[in-house]
Chain A
Amino acid sequence: LPEGVVDGIEIYSTKISCKVTSRFAHNVVTTRAVNRADKAKEVSFDVELPKTAFITNFTLTIDGVTYPGSVKEKEVAQKQYEKAVSQGKTAGLVKASGRKLEKFTVSVNVAAGSKVIFELTYEELLKRNKGKYEMYLKVQPKQLVRHFEIDAHIFEPQGISMLDADASFITNDLLGSALTKSFSGKKGHVSFKPSLDQQRSCPTCTDSLLNGDFTIVYDVNRESPGNVQIVNGYFVHFFAPQGLPVVPKNIAFVIDVSGSMSGRKIQQTREALLKILDDMKEEDYLNFILFSTGVTTWKDHLVKATPANLEEARAFVKNIRDRSMTNINDGLLRGIEMLNKAREDHLVPERSTSILVMLTDGDANTGESRPEKIQENVRNAIRGKFPLYNLGFGNNLNYNFLESLALENHGFARRIYEDSDASLQLQGFYEEVANPLLTNVELEYPENAILDLTRNSYPHFYDGSEIVVAGRLVDRNVDNFKADVKGHGALNDLTFTEEVDMKEMDAALKEQGYIFGDYIERLWAYLTIEQLLEKRKNARGDEKENITAEALELSLKYHFVTPLTSMVVTKPEDNEDQTAIADKPGEEAISASTAYLTSQQSSHSPYYYVDGD
């Protein structure tokens, strides 16, 4: 057998091509294989892509004939799918894979001597976290690949300040030499191109060493706090000031200490809280509210994070023990009351920000346990005055409830995976929200000059993150464009202004056009859909219908596979039909695979689906 041929199938090329322009990543994964056997063989194509990405295309080319995907409304595609399922013809889908990824899998039968090309395209907006953008690629070819390549080109109009790439599987100098990374000015490039020999797990092995995470991280120059880019009538505004003092925090930790937290979970919670206490700043105020069947607190009110108080807090945390049931409602209401009272009684500095963080591992099962009622109580108690962040520990919880609760109170939810690094995950979350530089951030644009603006109001700007707002210009031929960002800092109120000269912008565009010209429009569509889908989670009735219709229209127009759409690929095949569905799994599907794989004789034209749930 020629090298790289396993069970008759040679995968002679796999290329992951990434083009990033202004944080918007366009990735194409192409695998080319040939059936060297003397009979038909099944060839599989697996790609793990970030959960935050939207698939935009999948094509299958067999012996030079390409079968392109088409995005359809999920309901329409589902009917086709159901028909296919009833005929026993499904063959591919996406399922959740680990913490960050979704796995796209397709298999196809290839005749002897035939070639097949799989090409999957997905796009995502890279989000800045702790001062850098991270692009995450999972590399796991099933066999040695003659031409394996990751080729990433990054173009950032602000200029690239740092760029790095690392692979968890690079263990020696030989493989290290296959990785090159460089950046200069606005352009960055990462290439990973291991030879066949470099891929071997040992000099005489036929199995691949390439198995693990490949990450590219970078950041851009921030000579000014904001950057506005305008292309083809669409604009995007990136805002990430630095050098501002941290706004003091008033933070109430509402911790679930019910029986289900016993053992490792409570131990990891204690560890994380101790680490968090080490990171507290003296200007901050804090308290711990523990809930099980009842509610207990460390102190009656928030206290300043003085060294003496922190020492006392450590002793308290070390003695946290689990007991009885889960009363989320009372725990949260107590935390909210404490934060409200601290503000009303002027116990905390006027220029400070309040944050409520809840950690729970299960559903409410005592006190008020109806999720809708808890949501109503919490909503009425917070009244939009501060954000609620929910950390869901483990799998036995109603994550949708926690997410919905957090979203409607201007926060977000995060899963804490029950693993050896759970305390690090908790700490990591805290680090994200530990350094608010601005509160009540409003991004304002000329009235009557813009349309279809994405979210432009944020309760906090956290150090190391970035606010992104996109929209459409009413008049594409305006001479200049102005954006104001207002926010409250630790000591003063700030108004940042960004002015764009359209002539200068046009000149800059000529340079960046080589990547892909409509990136801002697609970025705007991505961001709009993402925010609509989030908003939809808490919407009811007509509002929900309108949001759904809007998100669906954009998903179809921009060819995004979202929870509202499906992608269908049809492939005529002699005597055999196959249909694949790839769901975009929601959080609920994390532990349950929704994969189906069957095939049978049929005379119908088969089709593949890629869809979101």
Chain B
Amino acid sequence: PHFIIQVPGKNDTICFNIDEKPGTVLSLIQDPVTGIAVTGQIIGEKGNNASSRTGKTYFGKLGIANAWMDFRIEVTTEKIILGNGDALSTFSWLDTVTVTQTGLSVTINRKKNMVVSFEDGISFVIVLHQVWKKHPVHQDFLGFYVVDSHRMSAQTHGLLGQFFQPFDFKVFDVRPGSDPMKPDATMVVKSHRLTVTRGSQKDYRKDASVGTKVVCWFVHNNGEGFIDGVHTDYIVPSLF
């Protein structure tokens, strides 16, 4: 999956990929204060056809939980399961429905996206990316966006959560890269000196099919040096 970090207080964006085997679950957000935790499970391409593999991975399943509310949401490309304690409510991506309960509202917009809004102003947007059902290689996947991330606590961690608080970085020595359209540069962040490449990703919150181009500095090697520790530190055994 691609990660896009719009750095708070800076008019710039950093991005990186995490390449792991399909089935791996990554911790994206972990906030011990609000109790909110978000995880994502990686999917690859359809089947095991080695000749068709491009190595691209995506999120196929997301888990959002609030330990204090005993609430969890499991989102797949097929369905959305809301769990309150032992009670489960199952919805489909074909629904247009708003579910409200104390401290939370969940809105599913048929075949497009869903918005999970917590009372304290934190919102998550999950976008359904649909591909042609009979496509030999690709399959549906999910996009995950955080709105008003600053409302999460300073103790928030995770592959995304660690970047919710302002942090500093510098980019200099912009120079031609291996691709003439994508210059390299040197970035200093978290006391690391990294070689980054100018690239672009897409923000699909407004339009799940076309998206909006976001120019970013791409950090290589699974975000090494940019993320705290190494990416395998964020592998967790299960969605919840």
Using a CB–CB distance below 8 Å, which chain A residues touch chain B? 223-225, 242-245, 489-499
Q: Does B51 contact A (CB under 8 A)?
A: no
Q: Which residues of B come within 8 Å of A, CB atoms?
A: 82, 84, 87-92, 94-101, 110
Residue in B84, B92, B94, B95 with the greatest tally of chain A CB atoms within 10 Å: B95
Q: Can you name the residue of chain B whose Cβ is closest to the Cβ of A482? A: B96
Contact A225 B87 (CB under 8 A): no
Q: Would you call B84 and A491 a contact (CB within 8 A)? A: yes
Given A224-B110, A491-B101, are A496 and B87 also a contact pair (CB < 8 Å)?
A: no
Cβ contact of B99, chosen from A223, A493, A497, A498, cutoff 8 A = A493
Contact B99 A492 (CB under 8 A): yes
Whether B97 lies near A495 (C-beta < 8 A) is yes
Complex contacts, A242 vs chain B, CB 8 Å: 90
Which B residues lie within 8 Å of A490 (CB)? 87
Chain A, Cβ-Cβ closest to B100? A493
CB atoms of B90 and A243 under 8 A apart: yes
Contacts of B94 in A (CB 8 A): 223-224
Q: Are A497 and B92 within 8 A (Cβ)?
A: no
| Chain B residues with CB under 8 A of A494 | 97-100
How far, in angstroms, from A56 to B60 measured CA to CA in the complex? Answer: 54
Tell me the complex Cα distance, A496–B96, Å. 6
CB atoms of B92 and A223 under 8 A apart: yes
Instruction: Tell me which residues across on chain B come within 8 A of A496, comparing CB atoms.
Output: 95-97
- 10 A-B pairs with least C-beta separation: A243-B90, A492-B101, A245-B87, A497-B96, A224-B94, A495-B98, A491-B84, A223-B94, A496-B97, A493-B100
Q: Which residues of A contact B95 (CB under 8 A)?
A: 224-225, 496
B residues within 8 A CB of A225?
95, 97
Q: How far apart sit A243 and B89, CA to CA, in the bound complex (Å)?
A: 5
**Smallest CB separation, B230 vs chain A (Å):** 40
Chain A nearest Cβ from B72, distance in angstroms: 12
Q: Which of A490, A492, A495 has the most CB of B within 10 A?
A: A492
The reply to whether B92 and A498 contact each other, CB–CB distance below 8 Å, is no
| Chain A residue at minimum C-beta to C-beta distance from B95 | A224
Q: How long is the Cα–Cα vector from A490 to B95 in the complex, in angstroms?
A: 19
A interface majority secondary structure: loop
Given the known inter-chain contacts A245-B87, A491-B89, please indicate yes or no for A499 contacting B100, CB distance below 8 A. no
- Contact of B97 with A245 in the complex, beta carbons under 8 Å: no
Majority DSSP secondary structure for residues of B touching A: strand
| Pair B90/A492 contact, Cβ less than 8 Å | no
CA distance A242 to B90 in the complex (A): 8
A494 to B90, CA, bound (A): 12
Identify 30 residue pairs between A and B in the complex whose beta-carbon atoms are under 8 Å apart, listed by A's number. Answer: A223-B94, A224-B94, A224-B95, A224-B96, A224-B110, A225-B97, A242-B90, A243-B88, A243-B89, A243-B91, A244-B90, A245-B84, A245-B87, A245-B88, A245-B89, A491-B84, A491-B89, A491-B101, A492-B84, A492-B99, A492-B100, A492-B101, A493-B99, A493-B101, A494-B99, A495-B97, A495-B98, A496-B95, A496-B97, A499-B96
Closest to B110 in A: A224
Closest chain B residue, CB of each to CB of A245 = B87
Residue ID in chain B nearest A225 by CB atoms: B95
State the Cβ distance, B58 to closest chain A Cβ, in Å: 23
B84 CB → nearest A CB, Å:
4
Distance in Å: Cβ of B15 to nearest Cβ of chain A: 35
A483 to chain B, nearest CB (A): 10
A439 to chain B, nearest CB (A): 15
User: What separation, in Å, do the CA atoms of A225 and B98 have in the docked complex?
Assistant: 13
Q: Which residues of B contact A499 (CB under 8 A)?
A: 96, 110
Question: Complex formed: what's the CA distance from A497 to B109 in Å?
Answer: 9
Contact A497 B97 (CB under 8 A): yes
Question: Complex Cα distance A224/B96, Å?
Answer: 8
Bound: A331/B110 CA distance, A: 49
State A489–B96 Cα separation when bound (angstroms): 16
Sample of 14 further A-B pairs with CB below 8 A, known A493-B99, A496-B96: A223-B94, A224-B95, A224-B96, A224-B110, A242-B90, A243-B88, A245-B88, A491-B82, A491-B87, A491-B89, A491-B101, A492-B99, A494-B98, A499-B96
A489 touches B89 (CB 8 A): yes
Chain A min CB distance to B213 (Å): 30
In the assembled complex, the Cα of A497 lies from the Cα of B91 at a distance in Å of: 13
Could you tell me the distance in whole angstroms from the C-beta of A420 to the nearest C-beta in chain B?
38
Q: Contacts A491-B101, A492-B101; is A244 near B89 (CB within 8 Å)?
A: yes
| Minimum distance in angstroms from B139 CB to a CB of chain A | 18
CA distance A544 to B94 in the complex (A): 43
Q: Which of B89, B96, B101 contacts A498 (CB 8 A)?
A: B96
Complex contacts, A245 vs chain B, CB 8 Å: 84, 87-89
Residues of B within 8 A of A493 (CB): 99-101
Complex alpha-carbon distance, A223 and B88, angstroms: 18
Residue of A nearest to B106 (CB): A492
A490–B87 CA distance with the chains assembled, in angstroms: 9
Residue in B84, B90, B98 with the greatest tally of chain A CB atoms within 10 Å: B98
Please measure, in the bound complex, the distance between the C-alpha atom of A493 and the C-alpha atom of B110, giving whole angstroms: 18
> Which residues of chain A come closer than 8 Å to B110, judged between CB atoms?
224, 499
B68 vs chain A, min Cβ distance (A): 16
* A225, A494, A499 interface centre (most CB from chain B within 10 Å): A494
Q: Which residue of B lies closest to A489 (CB)?
A: B89
Q: Which residue of A lies closest to B92 (CB)?
A: A223
Bound-state CA distance A496–B95 (Å) is 7
Residue of A nearest to B101 (CB): A492
| Alpha-carbon gap, A225 to B97, bound state (A) | 9
In the assembled complex, how far is the CB of residue A446 from the closest CB belonging to chain B, in whole angstroms? 15
Which residues does chain B contribute within 8 Å of A491, judged by CB atoms?
A: 82, 84, 87, 89, 101
Q: B96's closest neighbor in chain A, by CB?
A: A497
Q: Can you name the residue of chain A whose Cβ is closest to the Cβ of B104?
A: A492
Residue of B nearest to A243 (CB): B90
CA distance A223 to B20 in the complex (A): 33
- Tell me, in angstroms, the Cα distance from A342 to B84 when the chains sit together: 24
Q: A244's closest neighbor in chain B, by CB?
A: B89
Complex alpha-carbon distance, A140 and B99, angstroms: 51
Residues of A within 8 A of B101 (CB): 491-493
Chain B residues near A243: list those with CB within 8 A. 88-91
Which residue of chain B lies nearest to A242 when distances are taken between CB atoms in the complex?
B90
Measured CB to CB, the closest approach of chain A to B107, in angstroms, equals 9
Q: In the complex, what distance in Å separates the CA atom of A455 from the CA atom of B34?
A: 44
In the complex, A242 Cα to B110 Cα: how many Å?
16
